[in-house]
Amino acid sequence: MPLPKKITVTNQLTAKDRVYQQLRLWIIDGTLAPKEKLSDQAIAALFGVSRTPVREALQLLASQEFVEMIPRSLTRVTPVASDQLTTIYRPLATLQGLAAALATEHVTKQALDQLTAYNQQYQQAQHQKQPRAVLAADSAFHDLILKLAANPYVSEFSQLVNAHAQRIENFYLNRLDLQQPAAVQEHQEIITAIAADDAAAARERTEQNWLRGMTLLQHCIAAN
């Protein structure tokens, strides 16, 4: 899948960060397919920048395993890590569980109401069979918990690992069974635990929720 023909230009970021963030998003959502060859010259032309910030962005993406750079050969998008589900999801579940435990210390009524709203959107998207809306509501739910945790290290590491998880989910999106009422209930139990200042329960329910996602993907991959 080639590069899009047009992009929205913003001057709020450095050239390197602008290229990095957009390429990362395209890799995660599947706009750039696994093993897609990347030309720094073509990317530079698309973004209207020199090749230096493009190379810097590609090097950063390579360090995060979204891109592989083969010396004197090519640069391409890495394959989807379907064989590394436990490597990705187990630490992710631990990090997100820690975030939920920390969130109990900072939660407000407004945040609880927003978590409930996200869970309702999640449930509604399931009923309407809108897979991308399901993933979007789920991401919004967990991203708010990360924000409430108020720990930049937990947030940064979790977001990096989660980006790889999201990439796998997007890759298998049309084959995933996203009708998961048990996940809606787990979200509600997470909200209840956070509201009750029960850090242990918040951590446990959150880890369970993320490991459910891993199991769902395992079944999907095994069936195909």
Q: Residue 128, exposed/middle/buried by CB under 10 A (0-12, 13-18, 19+)?
A: exposed
* Per-residue model confidence (pLDDT) at position 178: 81
Condensed to tens digits (0 to 9), the pLDDT of residues 10-41 reads 567 799 999 999 999 999 999 999 999 999 99
Mean pLDDT, all residues of the chain: 93
H helices of 106-151, in order, are: 109-127, 131-149
15-77 placed in CATH 1.10.10.10: yes
Condensed to tens digits (0 to 9), the pLDDT of residues 99-146 reads 999 999 999 999 999 999 999 999 999 999 999 999 999 999 999 999
Q: Residue 101, exposed/middle/buried by CB under 10 A (0-12, 13-18, 19+)?
A: buried
* Per-residue model confidence (pLDDT) at position 7: 63
Residues in CB range of 204: below 8 A, 6 or more apart = 97
* Per-residue model confidence (pLDDT) at position 223: 82
The CATH number given to 82-222 is 1.20.120.530
Which two structure tokens, joined as six digits, stand for 209?
Answer: 């929720």
pTM exceeds 0.85, yes or no: yes
What is the spatial distance between Cα 96 and Cα 76, in angstroms, rounded to a whole number?
30
Q: What residues does CATH 1.10.10.10 cover in the chain?
A: 15-77
Q: What residues does CATH 1.20.120.530 cover in the chain?
A: 82-222
